[in-house]
């Protein structure tokens, strides 16, 4: 079999570089939530993504870089257990999914997030058949809403708009 010879009229291609593989963060260790330490989630400040380090020749460093960095600066990830039944609702505008997520911070306090998804994100979550008690990682955006209470007072309530969920515990 003859060896392939590149035609002379085609310019030489630069060598290709393999992209870093996606390596998920290690799951949080399972700890029991301390009694009386439940806190309602607040919208956290969001830091701008950092630039990749440059080498002395001005090209970016080809070392291991996080490949799963969100493109939107407001997209964050939360890991925790689903603590309520997962509600899947068909609306005239499309599917909606909602549940609560309990996340334990490094100080041992439990933070409860109200998670919801709509349209194509909700359809994707509905196919995953999420259940109460699963350890999951949720990617999305924190949001604040002003809700009117029964006494007429307005209260800021935090929600988490979900783009996707990854199950961290194996299904039994």
In a domain, 31, yes or no: no
In a domain, 27, yes or no: no
Q: What is the CA radius of gyration of the chain?
A: 22
Evaluate whether 101 touches 110 at the Cβ level (below 8 Å): no
**pLDDT score of 169:** 73
Average pLDDT over residues 119-136: 93
Domain of residue 131 covers 73-167
CATH at residue 101: 2.40.50.140
**pLDDT score of 87:** 95
In a domain, 61, yes or no: no
Query: What phi and psi, each to the nearest 5 degrees, are found at residue 84?
Result: -130, 170
In a domain, 145, yes or no: yes
Give the CA dihedral 36, 37, 42, 45, nearest 10 degrees. 170
3-state helix, strand, coil in the chain (%, to 5): 5, 40, 55
In a domain, 114, yes or no: yes
In a domain, 130, yes or no: yes
| Tens digits of residue pLDDT in 37-67 | 455 555 444 444 444 444 444 444 444 333 3
Total domains present in the chain: 1
In a domain, 153, yes or no: yes
């Amino acid at each position: 079999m003859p060896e392939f010879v590149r035609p002379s009229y085609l310019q030489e291609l630069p060598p290709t570089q393999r992209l870093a593989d996606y390596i998920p963060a290690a799951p949080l260790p399972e700890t029991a939530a301390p009694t009386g330490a439940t806190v309602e989630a607040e919208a956290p400040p969001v830091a701008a993504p950092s630039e990749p380090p440059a080498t002395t020749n001005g090209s970016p460093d080809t070392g291991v870089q996080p490949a799963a960095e969100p493109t939107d600066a407001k997209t964050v990830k939360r890991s925790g257990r689903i603590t309520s039944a997962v509600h899947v609702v068909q609306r005239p505008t499309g599917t909606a999914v909602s549940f609560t997520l309990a996340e334990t911070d490094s100080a041992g306090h439990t933070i409860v997030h109200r998670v919801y998804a709509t349209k194509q994100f909700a359809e994707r979550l509905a196919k995953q058949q999420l259940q109460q008690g699963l350890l999951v990682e949720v990617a999305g955006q924190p949001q604040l809403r002003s809700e009117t209470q029964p006494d007429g007072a307005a209260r800021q309530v935090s929600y988490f708009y979900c783009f996707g969920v990854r199950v961290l515990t194996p299904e039994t």
